[in-house]
Structure 1
């Protein structure tokens, strides 16, 4: 278990949210899978809804503002002490700014970008809201990995903007996987090179106690899921919610 009370270091995945067409249905689904409770925001702020575990913020759901939207995904926000500076560095490194820096009431400052491989991500400069308050335990964010058919430009971009270092992965010799590490050595995620990837995207992995039970709960709540598989790090499965948003559940291997 990790309780977070202050802003995370530069480049650390710090917040996740999902815009979907039916907030009530989403709360039913994610409540069933992860045991979340929900604090629904006011109508004037799009009913931005905090997902809570034991009273702590772990993610957010919101009604998608685009009534014509047909694709939905979990957004990942990387931490920064200064959104404007990181946006400038990102532009210089080849990113496209989709949403210019803006203040979110007194909660923080954010921006939305697309990296040179085509993957979208957000930046978050926390103020009153530091991001996920609970991570690395069942029902919370465990990690984020970028899957792309063009890993080279992605690796160059994230090392340039966030000062990450790259390490190979000897545990998965058949996979083009690179760990991303902060200057202090902490692993924040990875980049997966997959020539068959239809698009570049950051994925979200939630920790669960039992991957098989989580898959069963997702299917019973109206989602779909692959059968869990066992990897060196634990047992995982890809899940798709009722709106088509994909994520992964994982039960870490016993240490």
Structure 2
């Protein structure tokens, strides 16, 4: 195991066969892993028989204890967008609300500055594949390319890998889950903002279904979503909700 993804990287230690590791990402033929106190890179080819033990799929969060403040997770897919994402960031900042952004790799590469703004504002960044393909129609190699390409793009932008994953269209199966090394996140409220492009309908869908632990799906590529976000936040605040990231709402 080496400190960097290079044959010349500092040697940190040796992993025996059948060591249980957490596998995060493949980068130019190297795999970043964590095993006990060791964190570093090994040749990806040496992990051919890796077995993943934590590939769960979540569509809602954990309700809080009685008497604690209710929580929701606002999530935004398909960005970042050069125009819409900054508007959404401004609204979230106005109300001190945290959210999770599931980013498409091709948009990450085009808008690296905005990715950094999202990260520095304290929001969570998730992987939403490289080109928004339906992963259940791809080979396992194709799935890895879609996922790893985005993780690498995010790392290039902020120096950190994404912490959660959302499959496009919510399409997942055993093969897709077998290669996922971070939690897969679906949703409990679909605002259908991509379909109706109506700020009032976004709020109506939230009002109809929200409860403690809800994960709300929106998209930061539509101007109408940015227009409607403030009213969604104001309503949820009045109902006593706190806005947290997806990783926080799973705990």
| Greater gyration radius | 2
| Superposition TM-score, scaled by structure 2 size | 0.28
| Superposition TM-score, scaled by structure 1 size | 0.28
Structure number with the bigger relative contact order (C-alpha 8 A, sep ≥ 6) is 2
